[in-house]
């Protein structure tokens, strides 16, 4: 009966505990969560900030039985790798057969005057958004905060900014790079995004560095000062590797793991935001869950090597539809690049194609095509030839032609397989309204969806006849030898009785 200790009860630690229990009911699992509350889903925090979800609504499922022991508010201080025990803040020692580090990451807060206190924690009126506790702190400041500055224009910073404007706050974003999300976006995309955000009440100050936060003003490197009742810091995260370092494990940017999520000690594993695989710390939930699957498989005797998940950065912000799929900034000589720019309407697309496959895409303001392009990217599937149609997404609704444009064999009533030809034949035999046509041909008697078309058909034929004349006797209506309409307005054209007249 193997004992697994998991350090960290965020989404990665929670997921691996669930997967392990499902795969091996005899396993004894202990999870330590440093935060004093049950596990919750960090991805949902922007919705909490926007006031759409309560803190409770972000709770992850209770593990719900005694095979998983969850210790919240308990910090693991040290690992004794020789004795295979972890030492916790409450003075206990817990033995393990396998140890999982899912310690996550911490916000980076620039050590500027007024931004941090003497312990380098966020100062008053400064919040770094990572945890539910951070959200609660933010909530405490918000009532008095009219003007908010978000420091950092990455994905999370922009999501926070949008959530705050949804609650009626004025938001400035200060971003060091040349434009927001510059690692994912090229310059035109960045410009268009800034314009879109501006319309939503978010002003992006790009290429600017904060210098200090004093007297309710955030001073920038160009000498200007932004009034700020509150500063939200979203300037990146740092993998939490303290415990791994103390334990003497190999650590780069994160805890270094192989493709089974093993660290340099084969009995210790790392997943999620604290783990570095193949030189990368993905920092997203999809790879973290994927790593949890790999690890659960590995710890229960299977093998499912982790390969870096194809990345998708999808901004969750109402009114801004932005997705960066793979490497949207990709540049190379052999790549085919398709761009579509409509800055006035806040739309920009860049599709990078290599060997008929998507290697990257930036889609801003193309909500209909993100899903399709992402799925083609995920499946590594060849692209349709018409790249623009792909980018534009859903094709426009089909224009329904008037009856005069329909070919004779066109099915007007699908339910009863009635063609235009059979309708005209019925008309010829005297069925001159929809009711009579229905009796003769059954058209409109199924789903009724063609009722409008049949009415139109009647109108068209009625209009085509001079009132006093019988259509069969009206030479002006006949245009022999032609079965196609050249002019939609040409009412002489569509006469159904050419054959009758000609043949008799």
Partner 1 sequence: MVRTHCPYCALQCGTRIEPSPDGVLVTPDDDFPVNAGRLCSKGWTAAQVLTAPDRLTTPLLRRRTGEEQRPVSWDTALEHVVARLRRITAESGPDAVAVFGGGGLTNEKAYTLGKFARVALGTSQVDYNGRFCMSSAAAAGSAAFGVDRGLPFPVTDLASAEVVLLAGANVAETMPPLMGHLDQADLVVVDPRRSATAERAALHLQPTPGTDLALALGLLHAAVTEGLVDRDYVERRTTGFDEAWQRAAEWWPERVERITGVPVADQHAAVRLLAAARRRYVLTGRGAEQHAKGTDTVSAYINLALALGMPGREGSGYGCLTGQGNGQGGREHGQKADQLPGYRKITDPAARAHVAGVWGVDADDLPGEGPSGYELLDSLGRPGGPRALLVFGANPVVSAPAARRITARLASLDLLVVADFVPSETARMADVVLPVTQWAEEDGTMTNLEGRVLRRRRVVDPPLGVRDDLWVLRALATRMGQPAERFPAHPAEVFAELRRASAGGLADYSGIDPEELDEPAHWPFPAGGASTPRLFLDRFGHADGKARFRPVTHRDAAELPDGTYPLRATTGRVLAHYQTGTQTRRVPELLDVVGEAFVEIHPETARRTGVVEGELVRVVSRRGVTVARARTVESLRTDTVFLPFHFPDGGRANLITNPALDPVSRMPEFKVCAVRVEPLGVPQPTNGSGDR
Site track 436-475 with partner 1 (rule: CB under 8 A), x = hit: ------x--xxxxx--------------------------
Considering only 23, 28, 59, 81, the residue that binds partner 1 (CB under 8 A) is: 59
Name the maximum alpha-carbon separation found in the chain: 108
CB atoms within 10 A of CB 379: 11
Q: Taking CB under 8 A as the rule, does residue 416 contact partner 1?
A: yes
Considering only 168, 266, 279, 367, the residue that binds partner 1 (CB under 8 A) is: 367
CB atoms within 10 A of CB 131: 19
Q: Taking CB under 8 A as the rule, does residue 368 contact partner 1?
A: yes
Segment lying near partner 1 (by CB under 8 A), choices 115-123, 125-133, 185-193, 369-377: 369-377
Q: Taking CB under 8 A as the rule, does residue 294 contact partner 1?
A: no
Question: Which CB atom, from 13 or from 494, has the smaller least distance to partner 1?
Answer: 13
Please name the residue ranges forming H helices in 305-443. Answer: 370-378, 387-392, 420-428, 434-441
Q: What is the DSSP letter of 64?
A: -
What's the closest the beta carbon of residue 18 comes to partner 1, in angstroms? Answer: 10
The two structure tokens encoding residue 12 = 């990665």
- Locate tokens 């740092």: which residue? 238
Segment lying near partner 1 (by CB under 8 A), choices 94-102, 249-257, 263-271, 413-421: 413-421
- Determine how β-strand 347-354 pairs with β-strand 357-364: antiparallel
- Determine how β-strand 210-214 pairs with β-strand 217-220: antiparallel
Tell which positions 302-321 bind partner 1, by CB under 8 A.
312, 314, 316, 321
Rounded-to-integer distance, Cα 197 and Cα 161, Å: 9
Q: Taking CB under 8 A as the rule, does residue 58 contact partner 1?
A: yes
Q: Which helix (DSSP H) or strand (DSSP E) does residue 463 occupy?
A: helix 451-464
Site track 372-401 with partner 1 (rule: CB under 8 A), x = hit: x-xxx-xx-xx-xx-------x--------
- Determine how β-strand 68-72 pairs with β-strand 98-101: unpaired
CB atoms within 10 A of CB 29: 22
By 3-state DSSP, what share of the chain in percent is helix, strand and coil, each rounded to 5?
Answer: 30, 25, 45
Size of the site for partner 1 (CB under 8 A): 41
What's the closest the beta carbon of residue 22 comes to partner 1, in angstroms? Answer: 12
What's the closest the beta carbon of residue 154 comes to partner 1, in angstroms? Answer: 16
Residues that bind partner 1 (CB under 8 A): 41, 43-44, 47, 52-53, 57-61, 286, 312, 314, 316, 321, 367-368, 370-372, 374-376, 378-379, 381-382, 384-385, 393, 414-417, 442, 445-449
């Amino acid at each position: 009966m193997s004992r697994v200790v998991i350090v960290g009860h965020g989404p990665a630690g929670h997921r691996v505990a669930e997967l392990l229990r499902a795969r091996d009911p005899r396993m004894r699992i202990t999870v330590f969560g440093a935060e004093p509350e049950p596990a919750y889903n960090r991805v949902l925090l922007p919705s909490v900030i926007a006031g759409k979800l309560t803190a409770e609504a972000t709770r992850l499922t209770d593990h719900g039985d005694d095979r998983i022991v969850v210790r919240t508010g308990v910090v693991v201080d040290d690992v004794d790798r020789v004795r295979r025990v972890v030492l916790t803040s409450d003075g206990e020692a817990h033995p393990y057969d396998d140890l999982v580090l899912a310690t996550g990451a911490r916000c980076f807060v620039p050590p500027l005057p007024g931004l941090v206190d003497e312990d380098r924690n966020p100062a008053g009126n400064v919040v770094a958004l990572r945890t539910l506790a951070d959200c609660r702190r933010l909530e405490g400041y918000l009532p008095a905060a009219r003007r908010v500055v978000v420091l950092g224009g990455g994905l999370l910073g922009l999501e926070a900014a949008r959530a705050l404007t949804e609650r009626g706050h004025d938001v400035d974003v200060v971003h060091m790079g040349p434009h927001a999300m510059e690692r994912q976006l090229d310059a035109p995309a960045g410009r268009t995004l800034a314009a879109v955000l501006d319309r939503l009440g978010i002003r992006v100050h790009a290429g600017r560095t904060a210098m200090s936060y004093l007297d309710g003003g955030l001073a920038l490197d160009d000498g200007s000062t932004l009034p700020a009742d509150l500063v939200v810091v979203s300037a990146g995260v740092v993998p939490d590797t303290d415990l791994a370092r103390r334990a003497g494990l190999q650590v780069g940017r994160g805890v270094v793991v192989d493709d089974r999520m093993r660290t340099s000690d084969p009995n210790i594993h790392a997943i999620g935001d604290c783990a570095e695989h193949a030189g990368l710390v993905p920092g997203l939930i999809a790879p973290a869950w994927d790593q949890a699957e790999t690890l659960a498989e590995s710890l229960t005797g299977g093998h499912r090597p982790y390969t870096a998940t194809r990345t998708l950065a999808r901004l969750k912000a109402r009114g801004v539809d932005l997705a960066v799929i793979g490497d949207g900034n990709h540049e190379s000589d052999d790549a085919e690049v398709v761009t579509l720019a409509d800055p006035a309407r806040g739309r920009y697309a860049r599709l990078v194609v290599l060997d008929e496959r998507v290697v990257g895409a930036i889609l801003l303001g193309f909500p209909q095509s993100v899903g399709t392009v992402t799925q083609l990217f995920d499946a590594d599937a060849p692209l349709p030839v018409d790249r623009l149609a792909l980018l534009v997404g859903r094709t426009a609704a089909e224009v329904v032609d008037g009856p005069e444009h329909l070919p004779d064999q066109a099915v007007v009533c699908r339910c009863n397989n009635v063609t235009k030809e059979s309708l005209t034949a019925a008309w010829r035999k005297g069925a001159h309204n929809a009711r009579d046509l229905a009796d003769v041909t059954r058209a409109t008697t199924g789903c009724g969806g063609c009722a409008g078309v049949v009415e139109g058909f009647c109108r068209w034929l009625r209009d085509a006849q001079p009132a006093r004349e019988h259509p069969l006797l009206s030479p002006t209506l006949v245009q022999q030898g032609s079965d196609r309409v050249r002019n939609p307005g040409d009412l002489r054209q569509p006469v159904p009785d050419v054959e009758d007249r000609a043949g008799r």
